């Protein structure tokens, strides 16, 4: 059966119809990485992977897509589990990464439901490419974050990438999109801070964009503490310019609306509360 022929009630929890259509498209899987390969964003990701995971560990890539970040992790000696909901993405990942049964596992699954993985299994976890924002509804995004927290060892580290909502103010037509988001939220169609992403030739789907405060609150609700924020900027912004927006303290997240930050990659650890209750 064509994946797009399934009824709404069979869609994975937290996945909209348009998101499902996008992630099951073979065309998207084949072209997904082209905009990131060799980009400043990828260079930033690879630097963070080296800094945060300097020695071989057991790492889970949540929303691994076509395996773009699994490969450098494997090359660095890590054992990797890649999880994604898209069968076409996982097929590309399997072709890219080859068979490494002792160090690599690829699993099809949703981040909203990770009960098939044992708690405290991984020393590190990734949720990159704004995968968290693709989950519909705030309660399910918090549940996904709580799942990630549950998988970490007490000393484990999670890296999460999100896009920043207020960057719309700096974009052409951004104020119109912001007003449209507010209107749709008032009508109960979507949540405020939901925007659209995707591939124009396949489909557009809702993507939740974050404010710094909301991200901090959602992580706290999931039993996570943010220990550092790395700013992700426009492609024409140098790493030196972005450095002024980086901050280490979990209590300092005063990022002003007009600052040129497209998103963040945050480094999280389990809070003492979540550890004591586990």
Over residues 114-165, the pLDDT tens digits come to: 999 999 999 999 999 999 999 988 999 999 999 999 999 999 999 999 988 8
Whole-structure pTM value: 0.84
Higher-confidence position of 22 and 81: 81
The residue whose two tokens read 């065309």 is 27
Q: What percent of the chain has pLDDT over 90?
A: 45
Higher-confidence position of 12 and 192: 12
Of the pLDDT bands very low, low, confident and very high (cuts 50, 70, 90), residue 250 is very low
Count of CB atoms situated within 10 Å of the CB of 221: 15
Nearest to 32 by CA among 206, 204, 198, 207: 198
For the segment 188-211, the average pLDDT, to the nearest whole number, is 65
Residue 150's pLDDT is 96
Of the pLDDT bands very low, low, confident and very high (cuts 50, 70, 90), residue 240 is low
Residue 8's pLDDT is 79
Residue 135's pLDDT is 93
CATH number, domain 3-277, options 3.40.50.150, 3.30.470.10, 3.30.1360.20, 3.30.70.980: 3.40.50.150
Higher-confidence position of 29 and 251: 29
Calculate the CA 151 to chain-centre distance.
16
Higher-confidence position of 41 and 242: 41
Of the pLDDT bands very low, low, confident and very high (cuts 50, 70, 90), residue 3 is low
Cβ atoms 215, 174 nearer than 8 A: no
Residue 248's pLDDT is 45
The residue whose two tokens read 């939901």 is 194
Higher-confidence position of 233 and 64: 64
Residue 126's pLDDT is 97
| Residues 210, 220, 70, 89, CA torsion sign | negative
Of the pLDDT bands very low, low, confident and very high (cuts 50, 70, 90), residue 243 is low
Element (H, E) at 152: strand 152-163
Residue 16's pLDDT is 79
For the segment 220-231, the average pLDDT, to the nearest whole number, is 92
Burial of 127 (0-12, 13-18, 19+ CB in 10 A): buried
Phi (first) and psi of residue 57, to 5 degrees: -140, 180
Residue 272's pLDDT is 78
Flag whether pLDDT at 70 surpasses 90: yes
Nearest to 149 by CA among 50, 54, 222: 222
Higher-confidence position of 119 and 212: 119
| Residues 60, 64, 66, 70, CA torsion sign | negative
């Amino acid at each position: 059966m064509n994946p797009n022929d399934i009824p709404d009630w069979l869609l994975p929890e937290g996945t909209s119809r348009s998101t499902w259509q996008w992630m099951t498209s073979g065309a998207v899987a084949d072209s997904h990485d082209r905009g990131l390969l060799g980009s400043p964003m990828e260079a930033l990701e690879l630097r963070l992977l080296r800094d945060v995971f300097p020695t071989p560990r057991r790492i889970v890539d949540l929303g691994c897509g076509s395996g773009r970040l699994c490969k450098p992790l494997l090359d660095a000696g890590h054992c990797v589990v890649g999880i994604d909901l898209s069968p076409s993405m996982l097929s590309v990942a399997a072709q890219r990464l080859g068979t490494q049964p002792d160090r690599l596992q690829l699993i099809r699954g949703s981040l909203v439901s990770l009960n098939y993985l044992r708690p405290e299994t991984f020393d590190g976890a990734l949720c990159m490419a704004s995968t968290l924002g693709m989950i519909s509804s705030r309660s399910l995004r918090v549940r996904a974050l709580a799942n990630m927290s549950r998988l970490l060892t007490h000393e484990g580290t999670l890296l999460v990438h999100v896009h920043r909502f207020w960057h719309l103010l700096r974009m052409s037509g951004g104020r119109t999109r912001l007003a449209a988001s507010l209107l749709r939220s008032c009508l109960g169609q979507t949540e405020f801070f939901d925007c659209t992403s995707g591939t124009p030739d396949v489909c557009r789907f809702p993507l939740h964009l974050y404010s710094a405060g909301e991200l901090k609150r959602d992580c706290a609700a999931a039993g996570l503490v943010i220990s550092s924020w790395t700013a992700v900027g426009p492609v024409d912004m140098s790493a030196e310019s972005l450095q002024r927006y980086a901050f280490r303290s979990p209590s300092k997240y005063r990022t002003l609306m007009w600052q040129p930050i497209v998103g963040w990659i945050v480094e999280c650890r389990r809070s003492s509360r979540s550890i004591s209750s586990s």
